[in-house]
Chains A and B, each alone.
Chain A
Amino acid sequence: QVQLLQSGPVVEKPGASVKVSCKASGYTFNRYGITWVRQAPGQGLEWMGWISSYSGKAEFAEKFQGRVTLTTDTSTNIAYMELRSLGSDDTAVYYCARTVTRYTLFGAVPSGDFNYYIDAWAQGTLVTVSS
């Protein structure tokens, strides 16, 4: 069965960086993308960005451009999200999620991969930013 398992909760100081991992199993990793979503306490879902496991191309929400790095390791089926220059407003649960893409559905993407919808979620990782 499809499973996404994230690394454990972390506490970081303002200005630091955090790197969250997401281990995928139960499916062919490079057939799907990975999207990262966060949720601050009591707030809604915030889409951060996604990465094509097929091409390695990543796209980001404008507010995270330049501050987030998304990577995948297809040899270990692990996706990573690194967020830099943390502030207190980065305190949130961070989710990785399996994403159906153009490549997932059609196999050939001469025009580039494209993210459709999320069909499986990990359990989330609480990142607390506090001095």
Chain B
Amino acid sequence: ENVLTQSPGTLSLSPGERASLSCRASQSVSNTYLAWYQQKPGQAPRLLIYGASTRATGIPDRFSGSASGTDFTLTITRVEPEDFAVYYCQQYGISPFGPGTRLEIK
């Protein structure tokens, strides 16, 4: 089973700062076969990025995704107050979610 590792576990930033969230796969699958989700407390998750770098409908362009081999990165260029949440990555197919990165207000 492919295992995804996310780092850091918690990221503390101030609004306006740049956020960089990492997701690493234990096995090499297609480097476009990855999605990112955002979850706020008490809510269902929401799709942010699919195909490693394609923003889902309605997602602001401050969110971007990239891939390099088995390493994937979600970048938020300038964090807005509504971006503080937990972010999960997941590869396509029979694949668990990563453990998540909590983005919290510094």
Interface set of A (CB-CB < 8 Å, partner B):
37, 44-47, 59-62, 95, 100, 114-124
Contacts and interface: CB of A to CB of B under 8 A. Distances in A.
B97 interface: yes
A62 to B, nearest CB: 6
Contacts, number: 60
Contacts of B33: 116
Contact of B46 (A100, A121, A124): A121
Interface of B: 1, 33, 35, 37, 39, 44-47, 50-51, 56, 86, 88, 90, 92-100
Contacts of B86: 44
Closest 9 CB pairs of A and B: A121-B44, A117-B35, A45-B97, A117-B50, A44-B100, A116-B92, A47-B96, A119-B47, A44-B99
Given A45-B100, A62-B1, A121-B44, A116 B94 contact: no
Given A47-B90, A95-B44, A121-B44, A116 B50 contact: yes
A118 B92 contact: no
10 contacts: A37-B97, A44-B86, A44-B88, A44-B99, A45-B37, A45-B39, A45-B45, A116-B33, A117-B47, A121-B44
A62 B51 CA distance: 25
A50 B96 CA distance: 12
B100 A118 contact: no
Contacts of B100: 44-45
Given A44-B99, A95-B44, A114 B93 contact: yes
